[in-house]
């Protein structure tokens, strides 16, 4: 019964999304307030039914209703409750339903907040409705999570042990909140082109910010998860799935900067529209890459192309439609702002050039092997060395330029004044470089340069915060976000350059040293978890003769899934991680143990957190100030207010 | 202002970097290791440049798959036999194809791959320069 209820709710949602699309687009006309009312209420109705449908599926997972195929093939009665719930999005069908749920939540937010003119909001809801309609069709026809299984099995097949982790419970919803959040900017941009309203960037800003915050946190969370879960101490592998989340982030970052210029001085109007389209396009392409199976093998994709083909059509329609609208309407928007060659506007434009080039690099690196393979040319792999040679220099150059932006005035800036005010940051950069040369070994030119840039970024941010004490939240937010970049850079450099590792076999009672740490192995015990059996290693971290801490890495076996998993143990001082992974049983109580010392590793995610905090601060500043939204905010007015 | 820098300097000097411990116990049975640290470093470096062909996104160095274990064994055998890094890579490419290399080769098929990021950067730079010139003309 419960499955049919979910399915029915999904069908109602489909119908309502169509109502949303039609009435929303009709409401874009001047005298159609009735249509606008319908658009708002159908959006809320659509949201209710999607929530109902998602709730139903979650319920089916919680009570282990194995008469539903999706539950039977992805769940197990012995799984802890939290993983029963996270199992809802740990599979293709459920994750697509989560995708639509997030889309519905954003649509609901657009309808409730009614930012921008009512025609603009209505048209934006119309576009959200079109997207929702397409994705619901996709779910119902190719990925229905409510299909039944008869007879129902006694037990489910379980969830991949790798996914049974708190990090994974949080990671996909966070990432989707970012991915799909870019649909709001996309819809607003498309709506702005239909209605011809120029204040759209201001109206859409909170949605851009929410999406960016979620993407930043989602990527950081994913990288942290990979770090402690995969057992190799790595944090980023340039894997296509990771790249799929990085591309929207790079474009969303560019969009945030470009939209700022559009809002403040009316510059780059068409370019900002294009970025809003590109950002969501990257989300769609990422979804296609991850969901179509094209990554595992182009040929596997070709043998069962239903899903991939459907998403491909969807992408073509969404991107093609938006670009056609752009080609038709954008020339009319061309304002042509005036600003000096040295100005905040120029700096933001330069920022965009570098961010788009970085994104192009990730895009080409991810798709090139697939295209070559599809054309039956050589098979190649594009791994970290490619990105070190292409992405790294481009992004590094961007980081060098970051501190200048906030120092230059709108319309006209002065490079000399900017340089002079940045001297203390240069000093900090020099100190950082000297400190690295003096303290760290092995000496590394790359690390010295990276630390200088980190010092430069953080120093400039401190200057910004000090100078503008009590000033607007937005300046403070930008400084935080830029400082976060510097913090992450230190973490990435420290871990990459100075990580040390050792691989040893230890017997119970034996002592071992890893870098500056002394460890005593106290043997391995057999433990029983809720749905796994574990070999738990006991390692005492020694401080002289005293035990400072116990580290307990585990090697788990999940009988339901028939898979092994490592659960690492990490001891962190905040500056340095000691990372242990338990290896094979070598007999006689002896075990192989892999240990890493990763200096500054925690800074990688601390930086991400600081960046996200910057975003949150900016969002708070935006929502706190009640802005004059009903009147279409002319750029000139915004400038005067500034 | 000065206080900030003193604090940051103190902060940086706190980051006592660990010196990597090269002095590992010579021959542990936990996988093969060279007792000569130079050879070991070479082997590890090579292993990181090779992709595990049966597991998505992992290098031979990281992967726990039997395939990677074989390749690691092969790499070490060849190093022990006195082959150069280039010879070992060539041997593996002849056997498994270009896709075993993490770094794509520079051949006509991959020119676009290597050039695209810089083409976009260059084009973007030129366009930005034109836009800024136009805006500056309007401003003046």
Inter-axis angle of helices B37-48 and B66-80, to 10 degrees?
140
Give the B window 34-93 contacts with A, CB below 8 Å: 49, 51, 56-59, 62
Residues 254-283 of A with CB under 8 A from B: 267-268
Which chain A residues are Cβ-neighbours of B127 within 8 angstroms? Answer: 353
Percent of chain B with pLDDT over 70: 76
Cβ count near A302 (within 10 Å)? 12
Would you say residue A265 has pLDDT above 90?
Answer: no
All residues of chain B having their beta carbon less than 8 Å from the beta carbon of residue A599 are: 15, 17-18
- Is the pLDDT reported for residue B19 higher than 70? no
Give pLDDT, residue B2: 47
Higher pLDDT, A168 or B102: B102
Per-residue model confidence (pLDDT) at position A184: 95
Kind of pairing between the strands at A533-543 and A591-599: unpaired
Per-residue pLDDT tens for A364-380? 999 999 889 888 888 88
Residue A239 — pLDDT band, cuts 50, 70, 90? confident
Band (A274; pLDDT cuts 50, 70, 90) = very high
- The DSSP code for B17 is P
List the single residue in B with minimal CA-CA distance to A353.
B124
Q: Residue B26: pLDDT above 60?
A: no
pLDDT of residue A367: 92
The SS3 assignment for A594 reads strand
Question: How confident is the model over A516-574, as pLDDT tens digits?
Answer: 899 999 989 999 988 899 999 999 999 888 888 999 999 889 888 888 888 889 999 88
pLDDT band at A471 (very low <50, low <70, confident <90, very high): low
Average pLDDT over residues A297-312: 72
**Are the Cβ atoms of A386 and B103 closer than 8 angstroms?**
yes
Q: Would the CB atoms of A346 and B4 count as touching at under 8 Å?
A: no
Does any CB of chain A come closer than 8 Å to the CB of residue B2? no
**Structure-block tokens of residue A530:** 């809720």
**Worst-scoring range by mean pLDDT, A499-503, B4-8, B32-36?**
B4-8
Q: Is the pLDDT reported for residue B13 higher than 50?
A: no
Phi-psi region at A114: left, alpha or beta (left = phi > 0; alpha = psi -120 to 50): left
Q: CA B84 to CA B101: how far, in whole Å?
A: 16
Average confidence score pLDDT of chain B: 77
**B9 to chain A, closest Cα gap in Å:** 7
Mean pLDDT confidence for A443-451: 90
Span A289-312, average pLDDT: 74
Asked if the C-beta of B26 comes within 8 angstroms of chain A's C-beta atoms, the answer is: no
CA distance B113 to chain A (A): 6
pLDDT digits (tens, 9 = 90+) for A319-361: 999 999 999 988 877 667 889 889 999 999 999 999 999 999 9
Are A612 and A465 a contacting pair, CB within 8 Å? no
Q: Each residue of A615-634: pLDDT tens digit?
A: 999 999 888 765 544 444 44
Residues of B in contact with A448 (CB under 8 A): none
Contacts with B, A 468-527, CB within 8 Å: 494, 498, 500, 502-505, 513-516
Q: What average pLDDT score do residues A262-283 get?
A: 91
Q: How confident is residue A301, by pLDDT bands cut at 50, 70 and 90?
A: low
Residues 70-89 of A with CB under 8 A from B: none
Name the residue among B113, B124, B133 with its Cβ closest to that of A353.
B124
CA distance A455 to B8: 9
Task: Give this complex's ipTM.
Answer: 0.87
Confidence at residue B9, expressed as pLDDT on a 0 to 100 scale: 40
Give the span between the Cα atoms of A432 and A452, in whole angstroms. Answer: 5
pLDDT band at A470 (very low <50, low <70, confident <90, very high): low
Say yes or no for a CB contact (<8 Å) between B5 and A424.
yes
pLDDT recorded at residue A300: 59
Give the nearest partner residue to B125 out of A241, A242, A353, using CB atoms: A353
Residue B129 pLDDT grade (very low, low, confident, very high; cuts 50, 70, 90): very high
The pLDDT of B23-37, averaged and rounded, is 52
**Looking at residue A176, what is its pLDDT?**
93
pTM: 0.90
| Å between A244 CA and nearest CA of chain B | 13
A92 or A129, higher pLDDT: A129
**Is A441's CB within 8 Å of B17's CB?**
yes
Question: What is the interface size between A and B, counted as CB pairs within 8 Å?
Answer: 203
Determine which of A65-79, A233-247, A291-305, B101-115 has the lowest per-residue pLDDT on average: A291-305
* Residue A507 to residue A585: CA distance in whole angstroms: 10
Are A46 and A497 a contacting pair, CB within 8 Å? no
- Surface of B (100-119) touching A: CB under 8 A: 100-105, 107, 109-110, 112-114, 116-118
Task: Tell me which chain A residue has its CA closest to the CA of residue B127.
Answer: A353
Q: How many other CB atoms are there within 10 angstroms of residue A462's CB atom?
A: 19
Is A334 near chain B, with CB under 8 Å?
no
CA distance A540 to chain B (A): 19
Burial of A222 per CB tally in 10 Å (0-12, 13-18, 19+): buried
CA of B84, closest CA in chain A: separation in Å? 20
């Amino acid at each position: 019964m419960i499955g049919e209820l979910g399915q029915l709710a999904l069908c109602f949602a489909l119908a309502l999304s169509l109502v949303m699309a039609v009435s929303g687009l009709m409401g874009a006309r001047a005298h159609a307030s009735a249509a606008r009312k319908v658009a708002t209420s159908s959006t809320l109705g659509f949201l209710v039914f999607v929530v109902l449908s998602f709730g139903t599926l979650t319920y089916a997972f919680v009570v282990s209703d194995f008469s539903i195929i999706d539950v039977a093939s992805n769940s197990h009665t012995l799984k802890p409750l939290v993983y029963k719930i996270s199992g809802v999005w740990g599979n293709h069908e459920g994750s697509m339903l989560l995708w639509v749920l997030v889309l519905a939540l954003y649509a609901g937010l657009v309808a409730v907040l009614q930012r921008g003119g009512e025609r603009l909001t209505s048209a934006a809801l119309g576009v959200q409705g079109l997207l929702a309609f397409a994705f619901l069709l996709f779910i119902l026809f190719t990925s229905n999570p409510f299909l039944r299984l008869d007879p129902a099995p006694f037990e489910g097949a379980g969830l991949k042990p790798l996914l049974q982790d708190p990090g994974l419970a949080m990671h996909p919803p966070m990432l989707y909140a970012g991915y799909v959040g870019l649909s709001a900017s996309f819809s607003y941009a498309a709506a702005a082109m239909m209605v011809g309203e120029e204040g759209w960037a201001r109206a859409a800003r909170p949605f851009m910010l929410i999406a960016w915050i979620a993407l930043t946190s989602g990527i950081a969370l994913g990288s942290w998860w990979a770090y402690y879960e995969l057992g190799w101490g790595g944090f980023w592998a340039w894997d296509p799935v990771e790249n799929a989340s990085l591309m929207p982030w790079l474009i969303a970052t560019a969009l945030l900067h470009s939209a700022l210029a559009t809002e403040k001085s009316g510059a780059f109007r068409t370019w900002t529209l294009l970025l809003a389209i590109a950002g969501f396009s990257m989300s769609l392409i990422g979804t296609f890459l991850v969901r179509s199976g094209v990554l595992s093998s182009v040929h596997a994709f070709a043998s069962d192309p239903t899903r991939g083909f459907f998403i491909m059509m969807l992408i073509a329609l969404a991107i093609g439609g938006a670009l056609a609208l752009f080609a038709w309407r954008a020339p009319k928007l061309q304002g042509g702002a005036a600003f000096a060659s040295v100005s905040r506007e120029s700096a933001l434009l330069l920022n965009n050039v570098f961010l788009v080039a970085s994104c192009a690099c990730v895009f080409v690196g991810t798709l090139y092997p697939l295209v070559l393979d599809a054309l039956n040319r050589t098979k190649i792999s594009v791994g970290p060395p490619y990105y070190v040679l292409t992405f790294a220099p481009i992004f590094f150059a961007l980081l060098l330029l970051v501190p200048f932006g906030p120092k230059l005035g709108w319309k006209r800036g002065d490079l000399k004044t900017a340089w002079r005010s940045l001297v203390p940051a240069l000093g900090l950069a020099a100190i950082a470089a000297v400190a690295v040369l003096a303290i760290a070994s092995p000496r590394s030119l790359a690390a010295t340069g990276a630390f200088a840039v980190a010092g430069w970024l953080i120093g400039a941010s401190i200057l910004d915060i000090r100078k503008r004490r009590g000033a607007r939240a937005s300046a403070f937010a930008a400084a935080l976000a830029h400082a976060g970049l510097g913090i992450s850079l230190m973490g990435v450099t420290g871990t990459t350059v100075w990580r040390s590792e050792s691989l040893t076999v230890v017997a119970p009672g034996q002592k071992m040293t890893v870098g500056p740490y002394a460890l005593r192995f106290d043997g391995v015990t057999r433990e029983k978890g809720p749905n796994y059996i574990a070999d738990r290693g006991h390692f005492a971290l020694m401080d002289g003769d005293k035990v400072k801490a116990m580290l307990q890495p585990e090697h788990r076996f999940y009988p339901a899934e028939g898979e092994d998993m490592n659960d690492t143990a990490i001891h962190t001082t905040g500056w340095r991680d000691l990372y242990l992974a338990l290896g094979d049983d070598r007999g006689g109580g002896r075990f192989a143990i892999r240990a890493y010392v990763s200096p500054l590793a925690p800074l990688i995610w601390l930086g991400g957190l600081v960046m996200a905090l910057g975003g949150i601060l900016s969002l708070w500043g935006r929502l706190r100030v009640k802005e004059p939204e009903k009147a279409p905010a002319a750029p000139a007015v915004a400038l005067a207010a500034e | 202002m000065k206080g900030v820098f003193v604090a940051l300097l103190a902060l940086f000097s706190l980051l006592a970097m660990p010196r990597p411990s090269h002095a590992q116990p010579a021959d542990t049975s936990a996988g093969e290791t060279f007792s000569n640290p130079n050879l070991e470093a070479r082997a590890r470096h090579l292993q990181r440049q090779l992709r595990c062909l049966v597991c998505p996104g992992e290098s031979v160095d990281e992967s726990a798959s039997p395939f990677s274990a074989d390749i690691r064994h092969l790499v070490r055998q060849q190093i022990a036999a006195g082959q150069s890094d280039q010879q070992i890579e060539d041997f593996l490419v002849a056997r498994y194809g270009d896709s075993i290399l993490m770094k794509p080769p520079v051949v006509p098929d991959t020119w676009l791959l290597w050039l695209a990021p810089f083409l976009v950067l260059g084009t973007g730079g030129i366009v930005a320069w034109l836009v800024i010139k136009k805006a500056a003309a309007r401003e003046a």
